[in-house]
Amino acid sequence: MYLTQSLHRAVRQSPDIPFTAYRARTYTARETYDAVSRIAGGLIGLGVRKDDRVGLLSLNTDRFCQAALATAWADAAIVPLNTRWSVAEHAYALDDADVSVLFLDDAFLPMASALRERTPGLRTIVHCGDQPTPEGLVPLAELLAAEPVEDVHRQGDAMAGVFYTGGTTGVSKGVMLGHRQLFVTALGTLLHTRLPRGGTSILAAPAFHLAGFAFWIVGMMADMTTVPVAMFDPAGVLRTIEEHRAKQTLLVPAMIDAIVSHPDAGSYDLSSLELLAYGASPISETLLTRARAAFPSAQFLQVYGMTELSPSTTLLLDEDHDDPVLRRSVGRAAPYARVRIVDEKGTEVPPGTIGEIVAAGDHVMLGYWKKPAETQEAVRDGWMHTGDVGYMDERGYVYIVDRLKDMIVSGGENVYSTEVENVVAKHPAVAQVAVIGLPDAKWGERVHAMVVLVPGATLTAEELQAFCKQEIAGYKCPRSVESVAQFPMSAAGKVLKRELRAASGAA
């Protein structure tokens, strides 16, 4: 399996069915095939050669999809860039990955000059938007006018792309993923779940992030029309689901919360949605209950993993969500994955014992780009060490209790922030919560809760402690609480705890 294979199948079996639908623009499979083969020819004309890296800085659009397919068609690898990064962060990734050609859409045209200045190896910027092309950039129309070329059918362990991590714990690393890794997860997910076939798939999660990118692949394999949403906004997603009678979408919990909290959510017809996949960060039981009520026709699928795992390694199926215990887990190992819980020596621990979650299988990354030492540290004897702390029950369900770096040691006791967050999130005054450890003269670290309150609500540390003591031990309860307007978030929807700690002087 490989990235362009679904397009080849579609053009043979249903050439006139829409392949993408973006705003007022629709491309059939036949039209997409033609555009991709010409863009690939244009890339070759610009000097792109086998195994070169081609950058892609774009919102979710049909052009993003075409550029990604064309890059593989031309025997190169893509480097999707985080749309929330600064110029300096983009320049770092472009330089690190030795990118010589970059696709740039309208939203990022103001960065073009600065990117050129800060990335000496960047020869060509291809403007793939709808605005007039600025001087010095190559219009996409020029590539579309090139002679079409034959697909090289790049596949197997040939690198599909370098996907830079979200940087929640520090400097981003480039994760090398091959076509095999991406399609092992996509095919395994399709086979193991009751995913819909045909119809439309809403690409609402950012496509530069591997969760969104992988979900796009799943949609193509299921013969679905991809409907990209350029930038997330709750009303826009609700409207798109209704207008396109969408069958599936993938969202992170922060997006789900924004959608179900929208004052007009109940006025949209969401009955077409058959699947709502979610992941990237924990979801509270309260939010899950609200989401299932808002999308009563949809099955829910939680995926857990990371970019290095292409990106999923466990799946929590819809029927698992009916069990109040199981829905606190992240599911069981996907068909293509082996999952273990190990101690600090790498030895597997008994069921119910807390340790690090590790995974092995054909979905494990090829490695970190230009970082052999980091690769060797992360992948040991074929096992990817996730850095997540959790345990596995007797039936193989995995429960995450924290990130290794987010564990709090208070008074000599290990406190897992996720466990505390799950309890705090149940308080009626709390809309969102993040728990971190702050330096404390008496306890070493104290448990500190940062909360976004429900409008009009108030909450004291004493009130929160009394509430939490009903469910968890006293040493785990927050000793201090801080109300904030919003949390710093990564583009993947994860709270950036390192920024919270830095703001509190605890980094």
Segments making up each domain of the chain, as ranges:
24-155, 407-503
Q: Does position 435 have pLDDT exceeding 70, yes or no?
A: yes
Cβ 105 vs Cβ 58: under 8 Å? yes
Q: What is the mean pLDDT of residues 276-280?
A: 88
Q: What is the mean pLDDT of residues 181-194?
A: 91
pLDDT at residue 281, rounded to an integer: 63
Crossing angle, helix 29-45 and helix 5-13, to 10 degrees? 140
> What residue type is assigned to position 194 of the chain?
R
Confidence of residue 168 (pLDDT cuts 50, 70, 90): very low
pLDDT at residue 107, rounded to an integer: 97
Q: What is the mean pLDDT of residues 158-169?
A: 78
Q: Does position 68 have pLDDT exceeding 90, yes or no?
A: yes
Q: Give the tens place of pLDDT for each residue, 440-496.
A: 766 778 899 999 999 999 999 999 999 998 888 787 899 999 999 999 887 667 788
Of 52-56, 171-175, 312-316, 395-399, give the lowest mean pLDDT range.
Answer: 171-175
Q: Give the tens place of pLDDT for each residue, 49-63.
A: 999 999 999 999 999
Is 407-503 a CATH 1.10.260.40 domain?
A: no
Of 214-223, 318-327, 496-505, give the lowest mean pLDDT range.
Answer: 496-505
Which token pair is 325?
Answer: 């215990």
pLDDT at residue 416, rounded to an integer: 74
What string of DSSP letters covers 372-406? HHHHHHHEETTEEEEEEEEEE-TTS-EEEEEEGGG
Measured CA to CA, the distance from residue 320 to residue 340 in angstroms comes to 20
Measured CA to CA, the distance from residue 79 to residue 56 in angstroms comes to 6
Of 63-72, 430-439, 486-495, give the lowest mean pLDDT range.
Answer: 486-495
- Outline where 224-317 has alpha helix (H): 234-244, 253-260, 285-294
Measured CA to CA, the distance from residue 412 to residue 44 in angstroms comes to 60
Q: Does position 400 have pLDDT exceeding 90, yes or no?
A: no
Confidence of residue 270 (pLDDT cuts 50, 70, 90): very high
pLDDT at residue 21, rounded to an integer: 98
Cβ 495 vs Cβ 434: under 8 Å? yes
Chain centroid to Cα 315, Å, comes to: 15
pLDDT at residue 476, rounded to an integer: 86
SS3 assignment, position 162:
strand
Q: Does position 81 have pLDDT exceeding 60, yes or no?
A: yes
The listed range with the strongest mean pLDDT (158-167, 240-249, 393-402) is 240-249
Measured CA to CA, the distance from residue 35 to residue 144 in angstroms comes to 6
pLDDT at residue 167, rounded to an integer: 45
Q: Cis before residue 263, ω within 30 degrees of 0?
A: no
pTM of structure? 0.84
Q: Which fold has domain 24-155?
A: Rossmann fold (3.40.50)
Q: Does position 3 have pLDDT exceeding 90, yes or no?
A: yes
Q: What is the mean pLDDT of residues 267-275?
A: 96
Cβ 439 vs Cβ 456: under 8 Å? no
Residue 476 or residue 362, greater confidence: 362
Measured CA to CA, the distance from residue 27 to residue 494 in angstroms comes to 33
Q: What is the mean pLDDT of residues 360-371?
A: 97
Q: Give the tens place of pLDDT for each residue, 123-133.
A: 999 999 999 99
pLDDT at residue 100, rounded to an integer: 96
Q: Which residues of 496-505 are buried (b: 16+ CB within 10 A; e: fewer)?
A: bbbebbeebe
Which token pair is 395?
Answer: 């039936």
pLDDT at residue 67, rounded to an integer: 98
